[in-house]
């Protein structure tokens, strides 16, 4: 609790590379907004005019298909930015971003984003790396598409919370409730609870109150049931 926009920016590789003046402009241009648990941070179809960063909390990026099927693309948390794809293409938003718990987000205007893009080398490299991470993530997702076994999907859902580029989990203690894991993975809380039991028996993690302790990250990634 108590994370600030300044800390988020200075904690990122591109933010560290900013001059005082550049940092001042970024912090001055970017506004903050709070969202309650369950609130829509943005909706599919909206015009995209901000780069969105999570200052505090947990969001899920998901989409409901025309046939009504819910697909969750990713969970994003403190320090993660998203929306750059649609900003660059000037297209409408392609997914919803929903707060899973009370959250605070940063909204960087398009003009500021474009200015960084035009002037800052570290920012460009960061974006390039981010696109690369996303590409790897979706390639892996396609590869596992047929893997419908809930235990394995919950395992991968948890493992996906560990990616240094997105500043997600830094310790082996993942502070996330089983209900939130359920929203992220698309299963019922009961099924998640059952899956966690299986993964705990396999020695991959330890279930605690309000958190999951990751004991074997690679084991979670490789888990097939």
Among 36, 131, 190, 213, binds DNA (CB under 7 A): 190
Among 193, 206, 216, 221, binds DNA (CB under 7 A): 193
Q: Binding string, 195-224, against DNA, x = CB under 7 A? A: -x----------xxxxx-------------
Q: How far is the CB of 121 from DNA (least distance, A)?
A: 41
DSSP string of 15-76?
Answer: HHT--HHHHHHHHHH-EEEEE-TT-EEE-TT-B--EEEEEEESEEEEEEE-TT--EEEEEEE
Among 178, 215, 216, 221, binds DNA (CB under 7 A): 178
Compare residues 112 and 193 and give the one whose CB is closer to DNA: 193
The alpha carbon of 216 is separated from its chain's Cα centroid by a whole number of angstroms, namely 21
Establish if 177 lies at the interface with DNA (CB under 7 A).
Answer: yes
Q: How far is the CB of 193 from DNA (least distance, A)?
A: 5
Compare residues 163 and 177 and give the one whose CB is closer to DNA: 177
Q: Is 146 exposed, middle or buried (0-12, 13-18, 19+ CB in 10 A)?
A: exposed
Dihedral of CA 209/211/214/220: which sign? positive
Q: Which residues of the shown chain bind DNA in the complex (CB under 7 A)?
A: 177-179, 188-190, 193, 196, 207-211
């Amino acid at each position: 609790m108590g994370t600030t926009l300044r800390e988020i920016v200075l904690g990122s590789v591109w933010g560290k590379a900013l001059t005082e003046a550049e940092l001042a402009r970024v912090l001055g241009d970017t506004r903050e907004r709070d969202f309650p648990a369950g609130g829509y941070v943005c909706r599919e179809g909206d015009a995209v005019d901000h780069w969105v960063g999570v200052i505090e909390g947990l969001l899920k990026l998901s989409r409901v298909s025309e046939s009504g099927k819910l697909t969750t693309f990713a969970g994003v948390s403190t320090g993660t930015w998203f929306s750059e794809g649609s900003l660059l293409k000037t297209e409408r938003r392609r997914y919803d971003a929903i707060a899973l718990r009370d959250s605070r987000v940063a909204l960087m205007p398009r003009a500021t984003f474009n200015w960084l893009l035009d002037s800052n080398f570290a920012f460009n490299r960061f974006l390039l790396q981010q696109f690369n991470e996303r590409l790897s993530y979706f390639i892996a997702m396609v590869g596992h598409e047929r893997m419908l076994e809930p235990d394995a999907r919950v395992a991968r859902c948890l493992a996906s919370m560990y990616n240094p580029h997105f500043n997600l989990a830094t310790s082996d203690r993942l502070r996330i409730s089983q209900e939130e894991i359920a929203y992220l993975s698309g299963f019922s809380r009961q099924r998640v609870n059952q899956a966690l039991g299986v993964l705990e028996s396999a020695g991959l993690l330890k279930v605690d109150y309000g958190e999951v302790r990751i004991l074997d990250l690679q084991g979670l990634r490789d888990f097939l049931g």
